[in-house]
Amino acid sequence: MSKIFVDTSFIISLFRKNDSNHQLTKKYAYLIDKNECYISNAILIEIITVLMKRTKNTQLIETVYSYLNDNFFIFNEYDIEDYNDKVFKIFKKYNQNTFKVSYVDCSSIIISDYLNIDAVLSLDKGFKLFSEINLFELS
């Protein structure tokens, strides 16, 4: 059993049937059942906010929230000492001349290191920039 950190993009696509990556995420959803999966509070906030904004479906939001609570360890990233300083350092590294990756995406590096995560599961192409993590390749 591996430890996997799951990004917002994967979970949103899994629950949005009209998402262009929905079939792909359904194909890899077994990873959540077969591994120890983590999200952070920031990921939880992104998922709920984006899904509500895109679907305006409160019943779906409740289903997703229950799914996250039942299937993921929701990690409190503020348990990491100097968390924001560490994330900001990564954010500066990858966004020197132009915006490439979000602050929350950069936080995945710090959290993955802290939790000894084996792989990150994301559809976000920005994650391919991160040399500090092992990105699970979806195809």
What DSSP character marks residue 39?
Answer: E
CA gap 102, 125 in Å, rounded? 12
Pick from 28, 32, 27: nearest CA to 64? 32
Q: Write the CB contacts of 9 (distance below 8 Å, at least 6 apart in sequence).
A: 21, 122, 123, 124
pTM of the predicted model as reported, rounded to 2 decimal places: 0.93
Instruction: Give the orientation angle of helix 41-55 with respect to helix 58-71, to 10 degrees.
Output: 160
Please, are residues 4 and 119 in contact by the beta-carbon 8 Å criterion? yes
For the chain, domains (ranges, CATH) are: 3-129 (3.40.50.1010)
Q: In whole angstroms, give the CA distance from residue 92 to residue 94.
A: 6
* pLDDT tens-place string over residues 49-83: 999 999 999 999 999 999 999 999 999 999 999 99
DSSP designation for 135: B
pLDDT band at 139 (very low <50, low <70, confident <90, very high): confident
